[in-house]
Amino acid sequence: MHAPNQTEGLRFRLVLKAGFALGPGKGDLLDAIAATGSLAASGDRLGMSAKRVWTLIREMNEAFPTPLVETEKGGTGGGGGARLTVLGARVLARYRAMEAEANAAIAAGLDELRLLLKETDNPET
């Protein structure tokens, strides 16, 4: 899974059409749903509110011809869940592959730029 709240490197975001982008937040949410099978657990894992989780799912489900995420309502004893659809898994896999390709393409340049940074670990510098 992509590291949430990444502090260095490329933050890969694709604007697929006006008003809709697929980026780290949505990618991480799809990963978390695939791993946990739960919207609540996914939100907890990523530090997202339930409202934010539902907003992102609604945006993704409305942007594609069929939903990327399916949910099942739980009863009083729980039992609900969430899972990626075939299309959801395909979109996530493609996004992660493109992200890896982009990271590989910029790795040397990123290393070069890091060498040019001012040292911040030593306050006396």
Output the domain CATH number for residue 61.
1.10.10.10
What pLDDT does residue 21 have?
97
CB atoms near residue 32 (< 10 Å): 23
Average pLDDT over all residues of the chain: 90
Give the closest residue to 37 by CA, choosing from 3, 71, 68, 77: 71
Give a yes or no: residue 96 inside a domain.
yes
Domain count, the chain: 1
Whose tokens are 């060498």? That residue is 115
Cβ–Cβ under 8 Å, residues 54 and 39: yes
- Checking if the pLDDT of 76 tops 70, the result is no
Residue 1 — pLDDT band, cuts 50, 70, 90?
Answer: very low
**Average pLDDT of the residues in 62-77:** 88
- Checking if the pLDDT of 125 tops 50, the result is no
* Helix 24-36 vs helix 50-63: crossing angle, to nearest 10: 100
Give a yes or no: residue 10 inside a domain.
no
**Average pLDDT of the residues in 38-53:** 97
Give a yes or no: residue 7 inside a domain.
no
Give a yes or no: residue 84 inside a domain.
yes
Rounded CA Rg of the chain: 18
Give a yes or no: residue 123 inside a domain.
no
What lies within 8 Å, CB to CB, of 15 at 6+ separation is 21
Give a yes or no: residue 3 inside a domain.
no
DSSP class of residue 119? Answer: P
- Checking if the pLDDT of 104 tops 80, the result is yes
Residue 9 — pLDDT band, cuts 50, 70, 90?
Answer: confident
Domain span at 48: 19-116
The whole model's pTM is what? 0.83
What pLDDT does residue 80 have?
76
What pLDDT does residue 70 have?
98
- Checking if the pLDDT of 17 tops 90, the result is yes
Give a yes or no: residue 29 inside a domain.
yes
Give a yes or no: residue 13 inside a domain.
no
